[in-house]
Amino acid sequence: MHKTSVLKQVVISALLIAGAGLAWQYRSELRGAVNLPDAQQVEQEAQAPGVPVIAAEVITMPDDLTFSAIGTGLALRSVTLRAPASGEITDLAIAPGARFAAGDVLLHLRDTDKRLALALAEARLERATSERNRYRALQDTGVAATARFEEAETDFKVARIAVEQARADLEDRTLRAPFDGVSGLAGVEVGDRIAVDDAIASYDDRSSILVEFDLPETLLSRVRIGLNISAQTPGVEGRSFDGEVMAIDSRVEADTRTARVRAAIDNAADLLRPGASFSTRLDLPGNSYPAVPELALQFSRGALQVWRVSDGAAEPVPVKLVRRRDGQVIVDGALSEGDRIIVEGTQRLRPGIGVNVLNDPDAVRS
């Protein structure tokens, strides 16, 4: 029993001695693992020219965005032509694609009864005018009573109103172009009888095409009146059309969190059509921020940072990621254009440690 206890003690002692030996042999590795520099390492780093690193300069880059959306084309002005009165169509100039100037006759209704009514009203006005003038002359001589003159004056005014009404009724037998534009397919023919306000055809001013699309509310601050856009439509393959924003809705739709934007595209060549789909593209300007290479960005203690060379030493600078673009990272932080940011050799860095910038253009060791 005594021999067994002695044997255990010998084995335990041997294991402790072996463990101590291994710890001593690999002391450097163990010290690096727990990140506890010894006095010799601190002294060597103090005497060394600095941790070798590669640095790059901070540049300023605008946070511009490109936004694309599908929109719908509208005519600059668009109406549905409707019958101004009831009656039989005697003349019809409306045809698909026909162009008219403002005031041109588009449709004419039979107007015989309205012309007769106007002639009758004009005859009555002529008689009323004669009666008024006669009683006015008699009143000046004191022969006619004032009451009779006033009655003649009233008859004259009523007759004049009747003429104006007859002329308006006759004018309503004609449908005229409300503005310069192009007519669409007519739903009626010569000889058809129509009722007042019946739809006749579409009528558009397509000298410019308005394209409407929805813009996310997060981009509203970047869009302004006059901002240039480009658009393409399947109806005209291989062509891109330039335009500009002309209106931004004053309200954001609660369901979609978007606002309606309207852009105008010149259509002097008359290649575009209302109702067509358009693929729109907007280059949205943004604020300018510092930009650094992607390799410079590090994640430390739950935040992003970069290492700046300051007076020959490494300085951590907290930053926020704005956007990645073409190998660069646009960040928001206390950086200035021209600052040197470490992109390689960051593994051995800590605040205040000296660095040796290997790609320093002046070949000066910091």
CB environment 85-104: b (16+ within 10 A), e (fewer): bebebeebebeeebebeeee
CB-CB contact of 256 with 265 (8 Å)? no
pLDDT at 326: 79
Which position has the token pair 């440690």? 353
CA-to-CA dists, residue 338 to 264, 313, 363, 364, angstroms: 42, 16, 17, 17
pLDDT at 366 over 50: no
Question: Of the given ranges (14-18, 51-55, 286-290), which has the lowest mean pLDDT?
Answer: 14-18
pLDDT at 325: 84
pLDDT at 45: 45
pLDDT at 123 over 80: yes
pLDDT at 35 over 80: no
Question: Of the given ranges (193-202, 224-233, 303-312, 357-366), which has the lowest mean pLDDT?
Answer: 357-366
CB-CB contact of 321 with 306 (8 Å)? no
CB-CB contact of 210 with 272 (8 Å)? no
pLDDT at 140: 65
pLDDT at 18: 62
pLDDT at 42: 45
pLDDT at 365: 42
pLDDT at 24: 56
pLDDT at 32: 45
10 Å Cβ neighbour count for 50? 18
pLDDT at 9 over 80: no
Over residues 62-68, mean pLDDT: 90
Higher pLDDT residue, 24 or 165? 165
pLDDT at 137: 76
pLDDT at 166 over 50: yes
Higher pLDDT residue, 305 or 364? 305
pLDDT at 89 over 80: yes
pLDDT at 301: 80
**H/E segment holding residue 82:** strand 65-82
pLDDT at 216: 95
Higher pLDDT residue, 206 or 360? 206
pLDDT at 25: 58
Q: The pTM is what? A: 0.67
Non-local CB neighbours of 311 within 8 Å, separated by 6+ positions: 366
What is the C-alpha separation between 158 and 160, in angstroms, rounded?
Answer: 5
Non-local CB neighbours of 305 within 8 Å, separated by 6+ positions: 297, 298, 299, 316, 317, 318, 319
DSSP label at residue 188 = -
Higher pLDDT residue, 8 or 160? 160
Cβ-in-10-Å burial (0-12, 13-18, 19+) of 346 comes to buried
Which position has the token pair 């169509």? 89
Condensed to tens digits (0 to 9), the pLDDT of residues 191-210 reads: 999 999 999 999 999 999 99
Task: Write out the two tokens for 207.
Answer: 């000298």
pLDDT at 4: 52
pLDDT at 34 over 50: no
> Average per-residue pLDDT in the chain?
85
pLDDT at 300: 81
pLDDT at 17: 67
Condensed to tens digits (0 to 9), the pLDDT of residues 255-280 reads: 999 999 999 999 999 999 999 999 99
pLDDT at 364: 45
pLDDT at 37 over 70: no
Task: Tell me which amino acid residue 249 is.
Answer: D
